[in-house]
Amino acid sequence: MGKLRVAAVGLGWVCLNRHLPVMDRLDDYSVTGVIDRRPGRAELVAKQRKYRRYATAEQLADVQWLDEVDAVTIATPPMAHAALIGEALALNKHVLTEKPFTMTVQEGRKLAAEAANSNLCLAIVHNFQFARSTKDLLNDITAGKLGRLTAINAIQLGNPRRRLPHWYNELPFGLFYDESPHLLYLLRCLAGDIEPRRVLIIRHPDGFNTPSQIDAFFNCSGGIPATLRCNFDSPISEWYVMAFGERALGVIDIFRDIYILLPNDGIHNSASVLRTSLSATVQHWWQHLTSGIPHLTGSLFYGNEDIFRRFAAAIHGDAKALAPIDSANALAVLELQHKIIDCAQDAI
């Protein structure tokens, strides 16, 4: 089948470091051109990456060459997602958008219906479910290495001094709205459908939209408890997902793309404590080689390769390829975000 011709919209960090490098590496894609609202940005990127087309525009109607593309990828600030997705669908283009899907559930439902009615693919970049570390955990769960699962916990520590988009505090609950989709779709991937049962927040002392801390507790279709804890005033930035089993604990270190399996330590005597320490240390540093080298060379894409392969395969007729990243999954995570915000209670 021919290469998928794509226009990339929104030339921020994610697009430049994930979307464009992945598409340039895959045989499925031909990036026709790039679009950004900032003067000169699209022209610069197009020349650097040797793309034929570029445009400075805030809406797709102002781009003269879109008849040359089959699909649009969107990596703009979330506030622009809904309008751009709607424009692209109206122009009969398939769409792959960054998370969060849209700003309201109503917008998301409307766009999902429009895509379905037009027989167009509408997909979301929920990439960490395809990262090597997540795949390793899922394989171990399937193989029974963890035994019966007893709980799933997701933990997000965020340092406010790290590289952050300038617009994040305009969002509902600020940084939570931008970043929580990753943790939520990973919880759904491991625990099944989840529904917030209780949400406690500690508001930021300076009145920012981003709370200092959020603790969410979920009911799960899989019958096991799941929790999400976010601390946005942390001195370090770390994201973890932990799957607790009767036989072992599986831990995903999301930022490093490292997976560690720790066996049940039984009576927790000196020998078992030492065994846990040695096992964790060896696994951690060995995977620093397998993940660290690609990270240093700019080729660690945290599952984005799978996202783009699936998107192209779906457009070429493989309906099953889109299932984990389709509009239904985008909507499910979007609805979870708004339920969490709506039912949040002050912890103190």
pLDDT digits (tens, 9 = 90+) for 255-274: 999 999 999 999 999 999 99
| 182 and 106 both lie in a single domain | no
- Examine the domain organization and report whether 29 and 115 are in the same domain: yes
**What are the φ and ψ backbone dihedral angles of 308, each rounded to 5 degrees?**
-70, -35
Distance separating alpha carbons of residues 19 and 13, to the nearest angstrom: 9
At which of 66, 100, 125 does a domain end? 125
* Of 106, 125, 144, the domain-final residue: 125
User: Do 176 and 293 fall within a single domain?
Assistant: yes
Residue 324 domain flag: no
Shared domain for 266 and 181, answered yes or no, is: yes
Query: Residue range 78-83: average pLDDT?
Result: 98
In this prediction, residues 282-308 reach a mean pLDDT of 90
Question: End-to-end alpha-carbon separation of the chain, Å?
Answer: 58
| pLDDT for position 2 | 85
* CATH number of residue 280's parent domain: 3.30.360.10
Dihedral sign for Cα atoms in the order 299, 302, 303, 308: negative
Q: Would 285 be classed as within a structural domain?
A: yes
In a domain, 326, yes or no: no
What would the DSSP string read from start to end of 159-194?
-TTS---TTGGGSTTTHHHHHHHHHHHHHHHHH-SE
Closest CA to 19 of 100, 125, 167, 165: 125
State whether 168 and 285 are in the same domain. Answer: yes
Mean predicted confidence (pLDDT) in 48-74: 97
* Number of C-beta neighbours around residue 44 at 10 A: 14
* 289 pLDDT above the threshold of 90: no
Q: Is residue 212 a part of any domain in this protein?
A: yes
User: How far apart are alpha carbons 309 and 61 in whole angstroms?
Assistant: 28
Q: Work out the average pLDDT over 304-331.
A: 96
The answer to whether residue 246 is domain-embedded is yes
DSSP 2: P
Whether the CB-CB separation of 224 and 150 falls below 8 Å is answered with yes
Q: Is residue 54 one of the residues assigned to a domain?
A: yes
- pTM of the shown model: 0.96
Residues 231 and 97 in one domain: no
Tell whether 71 and 166 lie within a shared domain.
Answer: no
Give exposure, 230-249, as e/b (b: 16+ Cβ within 10 Å).
bbbbbeeeebbbbbbbeebb
Are residues 107 and 135 located together in one domain of the fold?
no
Judged against a pLDDT cut of 70, whether residue 1 lies above it is answered with no
Q: What's the pLDDT tens digit per position in 103-112?
A: 999 999 999 9
Give yes or no: residues 117 and 144 share one domain. no
Two tokens at 244?
């607790």
pLDDT averaged over the chain?
A: 96
Sole residue written with tokens 């930022």: 255
Per-residue pLDDT tens over the stretch 133-149: 999 999 999 999 999 99
- What residue numbers bound the domain in which 168 lies? 129-301+338-346
Q: Based on the domain organization, do 90 and 196 belong to the same domain?
A: no
pLDDT range class, residue 292, cuts 50, 70, 90: confident
Same domain, 22 and 166: no
In a domain, residue 244? The reply is yes
pLDDT of 307: 98
In whole angstroms, give the CA distance from residue 125 to residue 118: 21
Count up the domains in the chain and report the number: 2
DSSP conformational letter for 19:
I
342 and 193 in a common domain: yes
Using the 3D structure, point to which of 104, 125, 146 is the last residue of a domain: 125
Please indicate, yes or no, if residue 309 is contained in any of the structural domains. Answer: no
Whichever domain contains 81, its CATH number is 3.40.50.720
User: Which are the contacts of 23, defined by CB distance < 8 A and separation ≥ 6?
Assistant: 6, 8, 29, 31, 73, 308
